[in-house]
Amino acid sequence: MPALQSSIDAVRIAAAAADRVKAGDIVAFDVSDLLAITEIMMIASASNERQVLAVAEEVEKDLYLKARLSPRSREGLTEGQWVLLDYGDFVIHVMHQESRDYYGLERLWRDRPVVALELEHPEES
């Protein structure tokens, strides 16, 4: 069963927030038929620790203001290399570009359907 529209809409809010603060290579995968714990995994990159934290903060702010959603848990705020925001139905990964290259999360979900994020500047993501 594909991801619920409410999850897709929330991830689009998150992606737009990340895009607005210049996150790069923003992508989301529908993992609903692969994982029982969540529906969508979104990944965004940032060029330094400060930007990783700024992107995560902007995503969290917009999801709260526009959808009244708060993360169930947040990880990685101290290091600023990889921030994980767990919203239950979807998970947001904001990663320093070096960490993203090293861990290669996309390879875990490369065979999953990509969620159309409808970004204003998709060529820059």
Assess whether pLDDT exceeds 60 at residue 107.
yes
Tens digit of each residue's pLDDT (9 = 90 or more) over 31-49: 998 877 899 999 999 999 9
Assess whether pLDDT exceeds 90 at residue 2.
no
Q: What is the model's pLDDT at position 94?
A: 98
What three-state secondary structure class fits 61?
helix
Check if CATH label 3.30.460.10 holds for domain 5-119.
yes
- The pTM of this model reads 0.92
d(CA 23, CA 16): 10
d(CA 9, CA 113): 16
Assess whether pLDDT exceeds 90 at residue 119.
no
Tens digit of each residue's pLDDT (9 = 90 or more) over 52-104: 999 999 999 999 999 999 999 999 999 999 999 999 999 999 999 999 999 99
